[in-house]
Amino acid sequence: MADERAEYIGKAASFGADADNAQRGRGEAMNERARSPETREVPLSRPDRKINVVLRSASADQAVPLTAVRTRTLPSEGPWAEWQRELDRLVGLEEVKALVYEIYALLQVGQMRAAAGLSNSRHVFHMIFKGNPGTGKTTVARILARLFQSMGVLGKGHLVEVERADLVGEYIGHTAQKTREWIRKAMGGILFVDEAYSLARGGEKDFGKEAIDTLVKAMEDHRNQFVLILAGYTLEMEAFLLSNPGLPSRFPIRMTFPDYTTDQLIQIAELMARERDYTLLPQTLKKLRQMVIAEKNARLYSFSNARFIRNVLERAIRNQAVRLLEQYPGGTPGRMELMDIRPEDLRMDGWE
Q: What is the pLDDT of residue 145?
A: 94
Residue 79 gets the label, from left (phi > 0), alpha (psi -120 to 50) or beta, of alpha
Residue 129 gets the label, from left (phi > 0), alpha (psi -120 to 50) or beta, of beta
In sign, the C-alpha dihedral spanning 29, 31, 32, 33 is positive
Mean residue pLDDT across the chain: 81
pLDDT score of 9 more than 80:
no
216-260 pLDDT tens trace: 999 988 988 999 999 999 989 998 888 777 888 899 999 999 999
How far apart (Å, rounded) are the C-alpha atoms in residues 112 and 96?
A: 25
CATH 3.40.50.300 range(s) for the chain read: 44-257
The closest of 302, 245, 262 to 30, measured between CA atoms, is: 302
Q: How confident is the model at residue 203 (pLDDT cuts 50, 70, 90)?
A: low
- State the pTM of this model: 0.74
CA separation, residue 262 to residues 40, 104, 269, 288 (Å): 9, 31, 11, 10
Among 67-71, 139-143, 200-204, 320-324, the minimum mean pLDDT is found in: 67-71
CA separation, residue 210 to residues 116, 193, 194, 244, 325 (Å): 44, 15, 17, 13, 55
Q: Which CATH class is domain 44-257?
A: alpha beta
Architecture field, domain 262-345: Orthogonal Bundle (1.10)
Q: What is the pLDDT of residue 8?
A: 52
Q: CB atoms < 10 A from the CB of 243, how many?
A: 19
The closest of 251, 226, 225, 239 to 195, measured between CA atoms, is: 239
pLDDT score of 114 more than 70:
yes
| DSSP states along 86-102 | HHHTS-S-HHHHHHHHH
How far apart (Å, rounded) are the C-alpha atoms in residues 315 and 140?
A: 26
Amino acid residing at 301: Y
What is the distance between the terminal CA atoms of the chain, rounded to a whole angstrom?
Answer: 28
The closest of 27, 45, 54, 106 to 264, measured between CA atoms, is: 45
How far apart (Å, rounded) are the C-alpha atoms in residues 33 and 38?
A: 8
How far apart (Å, rounded) are the C-alpha atoms in residues 247 and 79?
A: 34
Orientation angle between helical segments 94-115 and 81-88, nearest 10 degrees: 170
Among 160-169, 206-215, 281-290, the minimum mean pLDDT is found in: 206-215
CATH 1.10.8.60 range(s) for the chain read: 262-345
The closest of 303, 301, 309 to 284, measured between CA atoms, is: 309
